[in-house]
Amino acid sequence: MDLHLLVDNLSNPALLFFFLGILAVQLRSDLEIPQNSSKFISLYLMFSIGFKGGLELSHSELNLQILWSLVFGIILAVVVPFYTYFILRRKFSVENSGAIAAAYGSVSAVTFVTAVSFLEMENIDFGGHMVAVMALMEAPSIIVGVLLISIFQKNCNNKFSLKGILNHSLTNGSVILIMGSLIIGFLASDEQARGIEPFTTDIFKGFLAVFLLDMGITSGKKLTDFLKKGWFAFVFAIIIPLINGSLIAWITGSFTQEVGDRFLFAILAASASYIAVPAAMRLAVPKANPSLYLPMALAITFPFNITFGMPWYLLLIQNF
């Protein structure tokens, strides 16, 4: 791995605040971000990245590469939960396997936002359509996860409403906000966009740092209990994202040469949802254990991706 890239990433103030959050938990500090403030910052990050993506998209021509990117994202969101389900069934129940598979087929908007910040730090451009790709990958994996559970569950007495699950996925707050912001950014003129640039751009990294501090605190709290559950889940939460991200970093070279787009595809393939999927699974599959799939995504995969994953995927893309 390129040591320069790794050191650059690990010395990123936003990432260091994430580690500070974990450290605070280990020291049993009472440091915490108020829940309402945390929610506001999360909404702000979704708004900012969506708006800037729409603005970038407005300067691009709709072409086959963009359309193929959207289709590829959906295919990815279907394939990943399908194959990971059968790996997970070696150790976990049908319900837990389906829920975890859905989480790893879906995407983490916060990981995506952090990856965008990483690209900006490295002065690498990316297409605004990648925001739309991220949003489109949210729902398919949830549907696949629920379908797999309903197919393989013996004596299934629960009736899953696919319409309800789809509706819940598409009306999830983060999806609505990021897609709405994308459309608004697309419709806004450059002059109008400059009017709110101090809010959408100048303070972005500061808010990201505070949000990652909150994520560090949350991850630190979940990590201790999770490690008591055994090593299979821990290894899965690192190896599968690494395989997915590395493979997609290579495959995407067949339809785009844009480094930023390929990198974001790799991150989307490697990330795991810890917001939309848990919310959907709580409704659809109450027997699935959230103390298993939530820490896997948030306390293991998320830190791995933002520390070592991002430099590794970028290195792969730049050299192959």
What would the DSSP string read from start to end of 15-59? HHHHHHHHHHHHTT------HHHHHHHHHHHHHHHHHHHHHHHHT
CATH 1.20.1530.20 fits 3-7+36-319, yes or no: yes
What are the CA-CA distances from residue 25 to residues 13, 33, 49, 164, 213 (Å)? 19, 13, 29, 38, 11
Residue 314: pLDDT over 90:
yes
Q: By the 8 A CB rule, do 264 and 248 touch?
A: no
Q: Which of 92-96, 135-139, 190-194 has the lowest mean pLDDT?
A: 135-139
More confident residue, 18 or 226: 18
DSSP states along 99-146: HHHHHHHS--HHHHHHHHHHHHHTT----THHHHHHHHTHHHHHHHHH
The pLDDT value recorded for residue 164 is 66
The pLDDT value recorded for residue 225 is 67
Residue ranges of domains in the chain: 3-7+36-319
Q: What is the mean pLDDT of residues 23-43?
A: 88
Among 89, 91, 93, 81, CA closest to 146: 81
Q: What is the mean pLDDT of residues 284-295?
A: 82
Among 272, 234, 223, CA closest to 104: 272
Helices (H), 125-272: 129-136, 138-152, 162-170, 173-187, 190-195, 197, 204-226, 231-251, 259-270
Residues whose CB is less than 8 angstroms from the CB of residue 163 and which lie 6 or more positions away in sequence, other chains included: none
Per-residue pLDDT tens over the stretch 1-11: 555 666 666 77
The pTM for the full model equals 0.82
- What gap in Å lies between CA 230 and CA 261, rounded to an integer? 36
Q: What is the mean pLDDT of residues 91-116?
A: 91
- 278: which 2 tokens? 């848990």
The pLDDT value recorded for residue 161 is 61
Q: What is the mean pLDDT of residues 119-146?
A: 86
- 118: which 2 tokens? 């990483």
Q: By the 8 A CB rule, do 166 and 144 touch?
A: no
Longest Cα pair distance anywhere in the chain, in angstroms? 60
Q: By the 8 A CB rule, do 288 and 245 touch?
A: no
Residue 139: pLDDT over 80:
no
- What gap in Å lies between CA 30 and CA 246, rounded to an integer? 38
Residue 171: pLDDT over 80:
no
Q: Which of 105-119, 160-174, 180-194 has the lowest mean pLDDT?
A: 160-174
Q: By the 8 A CB rule, do 238 and 299 touch?
A: no
- What gap in Å lies between CA 217 and CA 236, rounded to an integer? 23
Residue 55: pLDDT over 60:
yes
- What gap in Å lies between CA 98 and CA 225, rounded to an integer? 22
More confident residue, 170 or 190: 190
Long-range pairs of 149-153 with CB within 8 A, sequence gap ≥ 24 = 149/94, 149/95, 149/97, 149/98, 149/99, 149/285, 152/89, 152/94, 152/98, 153/94, 153/95
Per-residue pLDDT tens over the stretch 76-85: 999 999 999 9
Give the rounded percent of residues in the chain with a pLDDT score beyond 70: 89
Give the pLDDT band (50/70/90) at residue 151.
confident
Per-residue pLDDT tens over the stretch 190-235: 888 888 888 888 888 888 889 889 888 888 887 766 777 678 999 9
